[in-house]
Structure 1
Amino acid sequence: MPGTVTVVGIGAGGWATLGEEGRRAVRAAEVVLGGKRQLELVADHTGAEQVAWPSPMLPALPGLLGHHVDGAGRTVCVLASGDPMFHGIGATLARLLGPDRIRVVPHPSSAALACARLGWPAEDVTVVSAVTRPLPAVRRALGPGRRVLVLSTGAQTPGELAALLAADGYGPSRLVVLEQLGGPDERRREGTAADWPHPPGDALNVIGVECVAMPRTRVLGETPGLPDEAYDHDGQLTKSEVRAVTLALLAPRPALLLWDVGAGAGSIGIEWMRAHPSCAAVAVESHPARAERAAANAARLGVPGLQVVVGRAPEALTGLPAPDAVFVGGGITAPGVLDACWSALRPGGRLVANAVTVEAEAVLADGRARLGGTLTRIAVSRAAPVGGFTGWRPGMPVTTWCVDKPAEPQESTR
């Protein structure tokens, strides 16, 4: 169809493993776009103009597509590695052009091929792409007995992953590196993270990890309220019990963005992102050392994508993408902070703010009077020695305000 781009998945086996539908699309194309390696796999089977992706690719995509598809009106085929819709170019093209303007011819993904080689049920495996996320993101998937597939960025990734696992207490974990999956030069290399014996090999590889933890390795749960000891902090930390309640009120959902204003050690933004791989957060912190500490905490806890902004609200909020949820944990008494957060919040979004001082409580009470919502006081006591006995040592009570911004009215379809 005019203006339609056909996206063909191709594996390391090249033309020999390409299905007939994919072959027809390549033969019919006037322009074939793809990476250098993919173009070489079909070079002898098409007379089309072959255009390799520039570097960086993403900024150049709209111009390339506009020239070849919309401008020249040529028949365009895009080559993708494996399944184009699994961490591939297909999803990007669907976003840029719209799903009605792409036709996808998939190939088995590298994850599917890896599970087949390893004998792992795909539904029991967590896939982490080091191509789209920094390698420390794998930490979110680690746990005794878990199976993880890591999509590599290149030949160095297996060694870097082994070093990360060993440093985090997962040295006994078994690693299997699968190179050139599905191709004539497919190769398999194995070892443990603590004594990984292999030099860098082929750049096209997938790594299977069977997680084994050393004794006394800290294993973190999946639910909010991680132990306070999991964070490096200077006291500016939302404590575990209050954090669990706060995250429950914020109710993270996939693909939503949180502003964590007055982030301190970054715990709220970090645990928001740990709720789902597609959750995003911006941590705003005025103290540079705390901001640096928040970024380090995020990397150590498996969400290195936390965006940390050093600055004081409300000025530091200018220009940030509109949030789906906002948490204000510090600086609520600063003039304009609450109004700026409320104004930026998307319709249907939620704002949660915590206060421990009388002055901050007054701001929350005024906000509730103007905007509605609920106020809750949380009081936590912990057992502590009292002489030779044990008593309850109360922490400072925390007042929490939770309010939803009205959604925009829906247009009538009648």
Structure 2
Amino acid sequence: MSPAPPLSVVGIGADGWDGLPAGSQRVLREAEVLIGGARQLALLPAECAGERVPWPSPLRPAVPGLLAAHAGRRICVLASGDPMFYGIGRTLNEVAGTSLRVLPHPSSVSYACARLGWPVEETEVVTLVGRPAESLAGALYDGRRLLVLSAGAGTPAEVAALLRAHGFGPTRMRILEQLGGERERVAEDTAVGWAEPSEAGSHDIDPLNVIALDCVREPEARRLSLVPGLPDDAYEHDGQLTKRHVRAATLAALAPAPGELLWDIGGGSGSIAIEWLRAHRSCRAVSVERDPARAERIGRNARSLGVPGLRVVTGAAPAALEGLPVPDAVFIGGGLTAPGLLDACWQALPPGGRIVANTVTLESEALLADHYRRHGGDLVRLAVAHAVPVGGFTGWRQAMPVTQWAAVKPAGGEAGRCFT
């Protein structure tokens, strides 16, 4: 039996057929099935005689079935620009594996940086394709250059509104449309000057656009750091908040790394999970909170601070942990006295996984001392005092001390598992 023909993925730009190299054109001519968006398929000439199949919506769930329906035929998928840069290539690679053949085209980022004179390696890219506009908030820093991959003609107005809401109204916005094509154009304004879609529409934007931002923060706008320990008033909360200095020490003990998953149990305001996610864009987190009002508040804080991907589970642990994926780290900020919680979290961790638990009560402190005796790690007491007026003088006001247990599961320990 002859091996199945490889699945080809060809990147195409706004310059269409004429902008493709000879190798990409040949693959498209020889394909028996051509899959792509309607706009991309319309760029192909009649000499590409394969059956044309537009992507259904939603796209991702349909991919396996669509490829299976045309198995054994020479399939070529059309993609915008570089298929492996926020494109369909990742999904197809998960389905087709090593049989995938990718022929990229210059990405919109490469085109944009070339037009702007920005070094690609110094330019941060945020995609809003299939993601909420709040994803951009965590990348806003004074003086930064950002490229935003747009979801359509309405994205610039969304971005302008977000910039204004976060104190970046003076930011210069350049909308680069149809990059590489005959209808290439640049529209420019500040976030303050950008019209909302409901207002007379002074900007007629092409759906195929990339947004370039020269970030400028208003003098009175809040400045947020990249490192853990954001100001307490950066969060909406009802008092259930791991305070700034303890939060910084807690994140240091949790030690987030790219791609890792955190369970934040007893989320409160969500501050630990949010700052875990802000450590790196590939970090993941689940915040478990039994109070519905607090769970909703966690979601609002996550969106406000640029990490709308935080998953919030409303329920009491350990029961609410059922079905969650294996964590790389666990933080317990509340509910320590719930029967079996500490043992369940320790069991869920894989070898090398970290656990950190904070408490201010004697009852929970006794539990942490017991687990320190059984599993080792570090048991510390964190005490913070703030200077406050005392009459006409200044004195110290001591906050409640926090007892923290932090441990790493040894390599010989039982592997973590999903709760089912």
Q: What one-letter code is carried by the residue in structure 2 that aligns with 1:290?
A: R
Aligned partner of 1:9 among 4, 8, 11: 11
1:273 — aligned with what? 277
Residue 200 (structure 1) shift: 4.5
1:273-319 residue CA offsets vs partner (Å, 9 max, x unmatched):
00111111111111111111111111111101111111111111111
Residue 45 (structure 1) shift: 3.3
* Contact 1:269 1:306 (8 Å CA) reproduced: yes
Q: Structure 1 residue 113 and structure 2 residue 116: aligned?
A: no
Residue 390 (structure 1) shift: 1.1
Residue 174 (structure 1) shift: 0.6
Residue 188 (structure 1) shift: 1.0
Aligned residue for 1:41, secondary structure, equals coil
Q: Structure 1 residue 396 and structure 2 residue 400: aligned?
A: yes
* Contact 1:352 1:401 (8 Å CA) reproduced: yes
2:350 — aligned with what? 346
Q: Structure 1 residue 95 and structure 2 residue 91: aligned?
A: no
1:42 — aligned with what? 44
**Aligned-pair identity (%):** 60
Aligned partner of 2:33 among 31, 34, 40: 31
Aligned residue for 2:46, secondary structure, equals helix
Q: What one-letter code is carried by the residue in structure 1 that aligns with 2:6?
A: T
Residue 103 (structure 1) shift: 1.3
Q: What one-letter code is carried by the residue in structure 2 that aligns with 1:7?
A: V
1:163 — aligned with what? 161
* Contact 1:284 1:313 (8 Å CA) reproduced: yes
1:168-201 residue CA offsets vs partner (Å, 9 max, x unmatched):
1111111000111111111110001011143352
Matches within 5 A, 1:51-70: 51-69=53-71
Residue 132 (structure 1) shift: 4.0
The CA distance in 1 between the partners of 2:101 and 2:338, in whole Å, is 52
Aligned residue for 2:43, secondary structure, equals helix
Q: What one-letter code is carried by the residue in structure 2 that aligns with 1:175?
A: M
1:79 — aligned with what? 78
- Stretches (4+) displaced over 4 A: none
The CA distance in 1 between the partners of 2:238 and 2:67, in whole Å, is 50
* Contact 2:17 2:45 (8 Å CA) reproduced: no
Q: What one-letter code is carried by the residue in structure 1 that aligns with 2:386?
A: R
TM-score, normalised to structure 1, is: 0.95
The CA distance in 2 between the partners of 1:45 and 1:38, in whole Å, is 15
Aligned residue for 2:404, secondary structure, equals strand
Aligned residue for 1:50, secondary structure, equals strand
1:307-359 residue CA offsets vs partner (Å, 9 max, x unmatched):
11111111111112221111111111111211222222233211111111111
1:29-85 residue CA offsets vs partner (Å, 9 max, x unmatched):
11111111111112423111111111111111111222323xxx1111111111111
Change (3 A) 1:256 1:200: farther
2:238 — aligned with what? 234
1:288 — aligned with what? 292
Q: RMSD of aligned C-alpha atoms?
A: 1.5
The CA distance in 1 between the partners of 2:238 and 2:254, in whole Å, is 24
Matches within 5 A, 1:130-279: 130-197=128-195, 198-279=202-283
Residue 105 (structure 1) shift: 0.8
1:412 — aligned with what? none
* Contact 1:348 1:408 (8 Å CA) reproduced: no
Aligned residue for 2:41, secondary structure, equals helix
Change (3 A) 1:31 1:336: same
* Contact 1:355 1:398 (8 Å CA) reproduced: yes
* Contact 2:148 2:212 (8 Å CA) reproduced: yes
Q: What one-letter code is carried by the residue in structure 2 that aligns with 1:96?
A: V
